[in-house]
Amino acid sequence: MRVNTVTVVPTLTLNAYTAGDTVGGLLTFDVGWACMSGKIVSIAFVDDANQKEQYTIFLYDSLPSTIANDAAYEPTVADLKLLLSTVTLATADWTTISGNAYALLGGHEDGAMDIEFFTPDGNIYMYLMATDTPDYAAATDLTIIMRVEY
């Protein structure tokens, strides 16, 4: 078993998002160098603004259609057929550490996420849908770290 880490820093809009908006647009995690199949073990979030926002996370192992940053998350029927999994990031998942916020989904002692994937192009795709109204101060306030096992 090997675990690899892929980090993405989405480019954020500096005005308030609306609930239901896509935050950062289509996010691509290039796992092709590591594997084409395996499991998503965990997803960590680092929030430099310490806002502890709530999101619904949509994961795809095939390329969905493009939804722009700060636009309503409205997947097509074809996109829904490609959907790998959804995960919720709740306010309670966040912890403040040194003035920043950190959240870890999966990877706990009670078990990993274990979301199996097969990606024909070597990428895992993600959309973050705001469930509240995030308002980031800097375009790079959010970092997402995905750990995959193969």
pLDDT value of position 92: 94
Q: Indicate the DSSP class of residue 35.
A: -
What's the farthest any 2 CA atoms get from each other in the chain? 43
Our count of domains for the chain comes to 1
In this structure, what DSSP letter does residue 17 have? P
**pTM of the shown model:** 0.93
Work out the average pLDDT over 126-135: 96
**77 token code pair:** 């029927």
CATH assignment of the domain containing 113: 2.60.120
Its domain, for residue 140, covers: 3-149
pLDDT at 101 over 90: yes
For the beta carbon of residue 37, count every other beta carbon within 10 angstroms: 13
